[in-house]
Amino acid sequence: MAECEALRVESLSVTYNGRTALEDVTFSVQEGERVAVVGPNGAGKSTLFRVIVGLLVPEQGRVEVFGCDPFRRRVPVGYVPQREDVDLSFPVTVADVVMMGRVREMGWLRWPSQRDREVVRQALEEVGLLQLADRRLDELSGGQLQRTFIARALAQQAPLLLMDEPFAGVDAASEEAILELLDRLQARGVTVLLATHDLTLAASRFDRVLLLNTRIIAYGPPGEALCPATLQRAYGGQLAIWEHERGLMLVGDVHCSGGRR
């Protein structure tokens, strides 16, 4: 069976808040692949995700999701934004937030069907939060909150999932729960792009790595994309680089943690 292309990005350039956020970005992702998107702060990772889901219009270039233009036609993309993009003061429950993932199927101002409620229940069960369905957002831990937004994306039942820094501010148990979820999604053929600052995680748990700093610095298997030369080009002098005994490339922010993090 021929491979199916889940995502194609061609010659993408974006100016955001008066500066170049992305420049001539081109890459493709096959269905079922798990891709880590890495790079320094301000590299354009979040901007790339917003263009793919159709929230930000590029100056030039194009995006295709399963052959569809997201600016011309509704496309099946689940999106988990960074947590700082979320207003936690809004008085909604965990189940309410996850149900928001069904709006595209339900339409606005319509009551959820039994099918919608079942999808929400399954999504909450998938992330281990079914027992917290009636809990308010401001009562959740960081890990529980992140899993709530992942459940909302799962409720869309999209074959392409974008996750922007899902491990930021979560505890070890929630991180492991998210990683196990990623394994189950990949087994079901779901394509995942995940932005992270954890290069060890990117090297050990992903099929390919997209190393980004406004432009694509490298894209390919972790052992090829994360090498001293490409990391130096992406991060400059911000990082100390050494080899792990298992062969993984580890990096540390020398300004924040004495060469390790």
**Domain ranges, residue 43:** 1-76+158-231
> Do 162 and 52 share a structural domain?
yes
238 occurs within a structural domain: no
Number of neighbouring beta carbons within 10 Å of residue 128? 17
Q: In this structure, are 56 and 116 located in the same domain?
A: no
- 5 conformational bin, left if phi > 0, alpha if psi -120 to 50, beta if neither: beta
| Best CA proximity match to 166, nearest among 78, 255, 58 | 78
What confidence score (pLDDT) does residue 255 get? 45
Of 45 and 85, the structure prediction assigns the larger pLDDT to 45
Burial 220-234 (b: 16+ CB within 10 A, else e): eebeebbeeebbeeb
Alpha carbon 238 to chain centroid, angstroms:
24
Across the range 60-73, mean pLDDT stands at 86
Same domain, 71 and 12: yes
Whether 145 maps to a domain, the answer reads yes
Under 8 Å between Cβ of 191 and 32: yes
Label residue 194 by pLDDT band (50, 70, 90).
very high
Q: What is the mean pLDDT of residues 227-248?
A: 72
pLDDT more than 70, % of the chain: 85
Q: How many domains does the chain have?
A: 2
Residue 75 has a pLDDT of: 75
With respect to residue 83, please indicate whether it lies within any of the assigned structural domains: no
Domain match, 110 and 142 both: yes
Considering the chain, what is the average pLDDT of its residues?
86
| Single residue among 106, 138, 153 that ends a domain in this structure | 153
pLDDT in tens, 110-141: 788 889 999 999 999 999 999 999 999 889 88
Burial of 131 (0-12, 13-18, 19+ CB in 10 A): exposed
> Looking at residue 171, which CATH number applies to its domain?
3.40.50.300
The answer to whether residue 208 scores a pLDDT higher than 90 is: yes
Q: How does pLDDT run across 134-163, given as a tens digit for each residue?
A: 999 889 888 899 999 999 999 999 999 999
Question: Do both 178 and 54 map to the same domain?
Answer: yes
Do residue 24 and residue 143 come from a single domain?
Answer: no
Question: Is there a single domain that holds both residue 164 and residue 131?
Answer: no
In a domain, 118, yes or no: yes
Provide mean pLDDT across the span 169-175.
85
Q: How far apart are CA 163 and CA 99, in angstroms?
A: 18
Are 49 and 63 in the same domain? yes
